[in-house]
């Protein structure tokens, strides 16, 4: 198949990760999510635990991402005290994302990959969303929470994702203009979301894109 990359951003509970895994499985290509941290660690020489700790810290306190520091492709060297800063950890993840886009077809979930790869012609960016009731229903299948507690949890997760995206891109995470394709998983179901992405890719990159 052609070397195309499909990036997926998603609301918590929308099944975007499931859609990404199903799509990668059907196409026989690699699926990247948290594995990007391992790649960034290998690329930078920074211990993987620092990436994981930063992720967890930011997830708990999205306020730490206040302000905007739009990614421009730069990297801070080890001689700087900011070498292991949150922003530079993101820079190394972005470098790994770019390397993947240049070398192999794959599906990448999260990490502002749509923005990092916005100038790449071989990228199809997708946002998966759904109405509140559907999000709660799906989130309830994997979280031991109910009612208001589940709503608060989902709101925190999406709040973190929105803050993370805003900080690194300067854009609103849920703005449809950031993406090539927006899908309501409650209306399509996960399997048809996969079909919609494949159909869009054929229009965009040619009928032979998956041959």
Kindly state the DSSP code that residue 208 receives in the 8-state scheme: T
Q: Let me know the angle formed at the C-alpha of 35 by 160 and 18, rounded to the nearest 5 degrees.
A: 70
Which pTM does this prediction carry?
Answer: 0.94
pLDDT of residue 205: 97
Sheet order of strands, 123-129 included: 30-32, 106-109, 5-10, 123-129, 181-184
| Cα distance from N-terminal residue to C-terminal residue, the chain | 5
pLDDT of residue 63: 65
* H-helix segments, 79-205: 86-103, 113-116, 132-139, 147-169, 185-205
Tens-place pLDDT, residues 74-119 = 999 999 999 999 999 999 999 999 999 999 999 999 999 999 999 9
pLDDT of residue 58: 77
pLDDT of residue 153: 94
Residues 6+ apart with CB under 8 A from 68: 166, 167, 170
**Backbone phi, psi, residue 29, to 5°:** -120, 170
> Is residue 5 within 8 Å of 122, Cβ to Cβ?
yes
Q: Is 126 exposed, middle or buried (0-12, 13-18, 19+ CB in 10 A)?
A: buried
> Is residue 13 within 8 Å of 188, Cβ to Cβ?
no
Q: Is 73 exposed, middle or buried (0-12, 13-18, 19+ CB in 10 A)?
A: exposed
Query: How many other CB atoms sit within 10 Å of the CB of residue 78?
Result: 10
pLDDT of residue 162: 94
pLDDT of residue 56: 81
Q: What is the residue-level pLDDT of the chain in tens, covering all 211 positions?
A: 999 999 999 999 999 999 999 999 999 999 999 899 999 999 999 999 999 888 888 777 766 677 899 999 999 999 999 999 999 999 999 999 999 999 999 999 999 999 999 999 999 999 999 999 999 999 999 999 999 999 999 999 999 999 999 999 999 999 999 999 999 999 999 999 999 999 999 999 999 999 9
CATH 3.40.50.720 fits 5-203, yes or no: no
Sorted by where each begins, the domain ranges of the chain are 5-203
């Amino acid at each position: 198949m052609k070397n195309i990359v499909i990036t997926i951003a998603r609301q918590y509970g929308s099944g975007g990760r499931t859609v990404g895994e199903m799509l990668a499985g059907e196409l026989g290509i690699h699926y990247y999510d948290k594995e990007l941290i391992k790649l960034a660690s290998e690329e930078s020489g920074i211990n993987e635990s620092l990436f994981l700790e930063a992720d967890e810290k930011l997830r708990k306190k999205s306020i730490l991402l206040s302000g905007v520091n739009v990614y421009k492709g730069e990297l801070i060297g080890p001689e700087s005290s900011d070498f292991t800063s949150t922003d530079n950890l993101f820079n190394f993840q972005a470098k790994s994302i770019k390397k993947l886009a240049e070398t192999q077809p794959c599906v990448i979930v999260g990490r502002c990959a749509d923005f990092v790869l916005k100038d790449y012609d071989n990228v199809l960016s997708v946002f998966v969303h759904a109405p509140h009731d559907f999000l709660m229903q799906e989130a309830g299948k994997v979280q031991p929470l109910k009612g208001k507690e589940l709503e608060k949890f989902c709101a925190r997760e999406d709040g973190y994702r929105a803050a993370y995206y805003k900080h690194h891109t300067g854009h609103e995470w849920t703005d449809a203009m950031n993406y090539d394709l927006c899908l309501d998983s409650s209306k399509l179901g996960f399997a048809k979301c996969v079909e919609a992405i494949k159909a869009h890719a054929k229009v965009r990159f040619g009928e032979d894109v998956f041959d």
